[in-house]
Chains A and B, each alone.
Chain A
Amino acid sequence: MREILLIVLPLVGALVAAAWPSDRTRPWLLPVVGGAHLGLAMWLLASPPVVSPGDWMGFDPLARAVLPVVSLLFFICALYAVAYLRIRRDRPNRVFVAMLLTVIGLLSAGHQARHLGLLWVGTEAVTLAAVPLLHFNDTPRSIEATWKYLLVGGTGIALSLLGSLCLGYASLHGGGGGDMTFVALTAQGTGLSLPWVRIAWVLLLVGYGTKMGLAPMHTWKPEAYGEAPGIVGAILAGGVTTVAFTAILRVRSVVGAAGAGAIADRTLLIIGLFSMLVAAVFLLATRNFKRMLGYSSVEHMGILSIGASLGAAGVWAALFHVWSNSLTKGALFLSAANIRRATGSASVDDVRGAAVLTPRSAALFVAGMFAVTAAPPFGPFFSELRLIRVALADGQGVAVAMILGCLLLAFFGISRVVFAIVDGRPRPSAKKGIGRLAEAPGTILPPLVFLGLSLWLGLFTPTLLQEVWSAAGLQLFPVP
């Protein structure tokens, strides 16, 4: 019941937001609903409900391992949104608020989907619900970004539907009765028709990989993150991509049960390394600090994909990384949004001296940069360290060397952009824009909290979370 409330509550909130008369007070619905959602998610994390195997929906160990952090991310972003929408009085926010709430409701559904078709419907709906969020600014550039997102994302989701149908046919051909829950598909195991399973895996990896932003299907990501408001970027990078990642994990366990696990792992490893490489190369070239965050997200999705290829221990590290990456990205996106708003540009060519213009946001941005490039003692350092140790134990020496090389290049790329905008003397033209931004508590505290959480996750990883990640690994790779 509580787990259904996670979905229903935000959707009802979205309806209320759509009917709410005042643009001024409407944004407060976001933290109210977000807070209730977070409370529910934490309660479910502490005392999970019993999931019966045949359920189409349920707060199973995998949902329990990921959904709380998405909820946490959403709540903190919702607090920021109140301050943000107060500054952006010039834009109507009815659709924006309603769609943000719809997105978190549908994300909750997607994370809890234990049925192949339901999972697809959930992720497809999230993709479409995010469209109005991307062109909130209604500039030509934001519409261009939305068009690319829609075309690339839509094709990806179409391919994942085709993949789902292929997996369904694999079950049917193997004598299955048409039960498309993941439990039933895994139970059918080697009874699934292998050629169809292989085709399904390729299509589902490409389809959900597009949504996750794995290279070479990542092209929508820098555009969308570059043009969307900071909170939307944070929710896309930390919430929407994770639902695609859990989808891949669920499908991977079916493919493993069907006896094609080795091929699946190899493709995940290769696509993960390729994503890291592509991201590192583009990070070295980009001149826009919001697009930079998009490429950084591609890099981290690559890390998740590599983790998923390394069995239960790798999944443990990947789930840890989902948490640390989501929280760190939140700090980066929100502080970048502050700088972008104060300086009126996101390009290295126009922005200089952010440390003078927006001292607090610039400090947060620099600290966030160190966190995301895996400097100790932030969360990403420990999750990536864990991943590398798992990979070494697995004998993946070459892959580890490549990971480390890409991380180093990414550090060069990111630090180059960050210091270019933070250092130096502000451009004379930039000073006029300052009046638009007061570094108010509403825009500084949320990224600070994100950074604090990232630090806390690295230093004191709670035992409860560690147990939850182990349980999720056990769900995906059951010990016979």
Chain B
Amino acid sequence: MNLNVLIGLAMGLNLLALGSSRIPSVIRAMSVQGVLLGIMPVLLATELDWHVAIVALATVTGKGLVIPALLRRAMRAVSIEREVEPIVGFELSLLLGAGATIGAVATARWLPVLPEHSGTLLVPGAMATVATGFILLVGRVKAITQVCGYLILENGIYLFGLLLIRSTPVLVEAGVLLDVTVGVFVIGIIVDRIQRTFDSLDTRKLTALRE
């Protein structure tokens, strides 16, 4: 039951990220979502072993603290505060996000799930979050918001991964965390390069390679 409340909150944060024009609020929505995701494996586990504790701790610090801090620093370096003129407007992306959430809840009914997962919102939550990530990735022009979109997409995948947390080996979970950490380091480096080379984080300036 508690789990569903958290997933519901995470889905609400999706909409917050879609509807806000200020980049700091998108980052905040993403980091709060990261903390919520970190708590979930603890709720799911029957007993608390070191393995679940590590996943939870790494998720909370990684997704909730380190990554948002890196993004905030990048944002301050170029002094951008808000996303102006997104490709997909804020109202439209909010509508799309709401549509995706409703669609996810409706279609998830058709998918067979194991009895122990039948009462949870994990599948629709994952689908809605992945869709949110996509909308941000495609519909925004600032590199930082696109990175946020990518990370929200990853959060959706993480939600889905919770379905498998009891059965899959440590490897897959380690892969998920490794991916986020390394991915952000690389993205961080590239964002830094873009900013130094183009003096801006507006990806619309990256248009030399058009045909």
A residues near B (Cβ < 8 Å) are 115, 117-118, 120-121, 124-125, 128, 131, 135, 138, 140-141, 143-148, 150-151, 154-155, 157-158, 161-162, 164-166, 168-169, 172-173, 177-178, 180, 193, 195-196, 199, 222-223, 226-227, 282, 285-286, 291
Contact = CB atoms under 8 A, between A and B. Distances in A.
Given A131-B186, A158-B150, A162-B130, A144 B209 contact: yes
Given A117-B171, A173-B114, A143 B190 contact: yes
Given A151-B146, A168-B168, A143 B179 contact: no
A146 B164 contact: no
Which of A140, A144, A169, A222 has the most CB atoms of chain B within a 10 A radius of its CB? A169
Contacts of A125: 182
B38 to A, nearest CB: 18
Contacts of A135: 190, 193
Contact of A121 (B111, B178, B198): B178
B6 interface: no
B175 interface: yes
B209 A128 contact: no
Contacts of B150: 151, 154-155, 158
A223 B206 CA distance: 11
Nearest to A288: B211
Contacts of B175: 117, 120-121, 124, 161
A135 B206 CA distance: 14
29 contacts: A117-B169, A121-B171, A124-B179, A128-B182, A128-B186, A131-B186, A131-B190, A143-B190, A143-B198, A144-B208, A147-B143, A147-B203, A148-B209, A158-B150, A158-B157, A161-B157, A161-B175, A161-B176, A165-B157, A168-B168, A168-B172, A169-B163, A172-B164, A178-B169, A180-B169, A195-B111, A195-B112, A196-B112, A199-B111
A436 to B, nearest CB: 23
A155 B206 contact: no
Given A165-B161, A168-B172, 15 more contacts: A115-B171, A117-B172, A118-B171, A124-B179, A125-B182, A147-B190, A158-B150, A162-B156, A162-B157, A165-B160, A168-B164, A173-B112, A180-B168, A226-B209, A285-B211
Contacts of B44: none
A151 B187 CA distance: 9
B211 A172 contact: no
A150 B166 CA distance: 32
Contacts of B193: 135, 138, 143, 146
B182 to A, nearest CB: 6
Given A120-B175, A169-B163, A140 B182 contact: no
Q: Give the interface SS of chain A, mostly helix, strand, loop or mixed.
A: helix
Nearest to A295: B211
A147 B206 contact: yes
A195 B110 contact: yes
A73 to B, nearest CB: 25
A74 to B, nearest CB: 22
Nearest to B207: A144
Nearest to B160: A165
A282 B160 contact: no
A162 B160 contact: yes
Interface in B135-190: 137, 143, 146, 150, 153-154, 156-157, 160-161, 163-164, 166-169, 171-172, 175-176, 178-179, 182-183, 186-187, 190
Which of A131, A148, A158, A222 has the most CB atoms of chain B within a 10 A radius of its CB? A158
A155 B147 CA distance: 11
Contact of B183 (A143, A154, A178, A196): A154
Contacts of A173: 112-114
Contact of A143 (B168, B182, B197): B197
Given A193-B112, A196-B112, A150 B211 contact: no
Sort A-B residue pairs by CB-CB distance and give the 3 closest, nearest first. Answer: A178-B167, A144-B206, A117-B172
A143 B154 CA distance: 24
Nearest to A194: B112
Contact of B209 (A131, A150, A227): A227
A151 B137 contact: yes
Contacts of B198: 140, 143
Contact of B154 (A131, A141, A158): A158
B53 interface: no
B194 interface: yes
Nearest to A174: B112
B111 A172 contact: no
A120 B169 CA distance: 14
Contact of B111 (A117, A158, A196): A196
Contacts of A151: 137, 146, 150
B183 A128 contact: yes
A138 B190 CA distance: 11
A161 B179 contact: yes
Given A155-B137, A165-B164, A173-B113, A150 B187 contact: yes
Contacts of A150: 186-187, 190
B209 A155 contact: no
Contacts of A144: 206, 208-209
